[in-house]
Structure 1
Amino acid sequence: MASLNVGNLGEYLREQRRAAELSLRQLADAAGVSNPYLSQIERGLRKPSAEVLQQVAKALRISAETLYVRAGILDEREREELETRAVILADPSINERQKNVLLQIYDSFRKENGFEPEPQPGADTDTDAGSDAVTHPHS
């Protein structure tokens, strides 16, 4: 099954590279990987690491999470959650406290709908301690 994911990934990368009008060599240079290695990925012979996928995604100007799903590293729901979190965290119009509150609300809605929140770096996410440690805004 992993080879199917890798083949699917390779086909997708080739399509994205062609859509970006990049040669294999140009993409390899932009992503910081060797030309033969990138060729093997496109042909489904190699399964790249998440780091390599991130470099390739950046060079193609596409979502790394999309490549992670294609490679079987993430499932679709995880990708959607990560992209939602990334949009919130990248928004320059709100401050850090507001971002944290939004993420807490997002997690509570996901949990209410049967999805467990993903642990955040530096956050106390132990479910027992986390509920006590989280400050809920009361207007």
Structure 2
Amino acid sequence: MGSIHVGNLGEFLREQRRSARLSLRQLADAAGVSNPYLSQIERGLRKPSAEILQQLAKALRISAETLYVQAGILDERRGDGADGMAVHTAILTDPAISERQKQVLLQIYDSFRKENARDDAGGGAEEGQTEGDAPLPGGGRGEGDARPASDRRRSP
């Protein structure tokens, strides 16, 4: 995760607000935040959540991803491809999970993508096999035992 660059974000927001010819109060009203809070964000004193950034982006008619990158929440190179960016956006804009949970989910997702990229570069599974089909240690293929657990315990 990148660290937040609140100063850069604030300057960027101020430039975008001025380009849109909005006063601080007009943008605050449109984004549903208080005038003093928006002023603090612009001056680099406050760190807005992903939800607030999304509201500001909507009010400024710019992409939320642009603000996430400016805030250091997303790296420009992350989310290689539309699918990766869509996942990041979905996580960051989900109001049902906390900011900490969002950061953890993004870290896990990114680590899986990096691991899969390494596997793809290194050959990974044999041709025609998916990861679930790959042989397991001991010769099994991962299909599991279809018998109920209670029956498996009684097996000789």
One-letter code aligned to 1:42: E
Paired residue for 2:43?
43
The Cα of 1:128 is off from its aligned counterpart by 3.0
Paired residue for 2:61?
61
Give the Cα separation in 2 of the matches to 1:73 and 1:22: 25
Give the Cα separation in 1 of the matches to 2:23 and 2:83: 28
**Structure 1 length normalisation: TM-score?**
0.58
Give the Cα separation in 1 of the matches to 2:55 and 2:28: 10
Give the Cα separation in 2 of the matches to 1:83 and 1:63: 16
Paired residue for 1:99?
none
Q: Is the contact between residue 65 and residue 82 of structure 1 (CA under 8 Å) also seen in structure 2?
A: no
Give the Cα separation in 2 of the matches to 1:22 and 1:12: 14
**Structure 2 length normalisation: TM-score?**
0.52
The Cα of 1:77 is off from its aligned counterpart by 1.8
Which digits, 9 at most, give the CA deviation of each residue in 1:112-139, with x for residues without a partner? xx489xxxxxxxxxx834xxxxxxxxxx
Let me know the Cα RMSD of the aligned residues.
3.3
The Cα of 1:63 is off from its aligned counterpart by 0.8
In structure 2, list runs of 5 or more residues that go unmatched: 87-112, 120-129, 133-156
One-letter code aligned to 1:128: E
Which digits, 9 at most, give the CA deviation of each residue in 1:62-117, with x for residues without a partner? 0100100110100002366358865xxxxxxxxxxxxxxxxxxxxxxx98xx489x
Paired residue for 2:75?
75
Pair 36,55 (structure 1): closer, same or farther in 2 beyond 3 Å = same
- Paired residues, what number? 96
One-letter code aligned to 2:54: Q
Give the Cα separation in 1 of the matches to 2:25 and 2:79: 29
Give the Cα separation in 1 of the matches to 2:118 and 2:71: 23
Pair 20,80 (structure 1): closer, same or farther in 2 beyond 3 Å = farther
Paired residue for 1:25?
25
Pair 77,29 (structure 1): closer, same or farther in 2 beyond 3 Å = same
Larger Rg: 2
Give the Cα separation in 2 of the matches to 1:40 and 1:65: 21
Give the Cα separation in 2 of the matches to 1:9 and 1:115: 33
Pair 35,81 (structure 1): closer, same or farther in 2 beyond 3 Å = farther
Structure with bigger helix share is 1
Paired residue for 1:128?
131
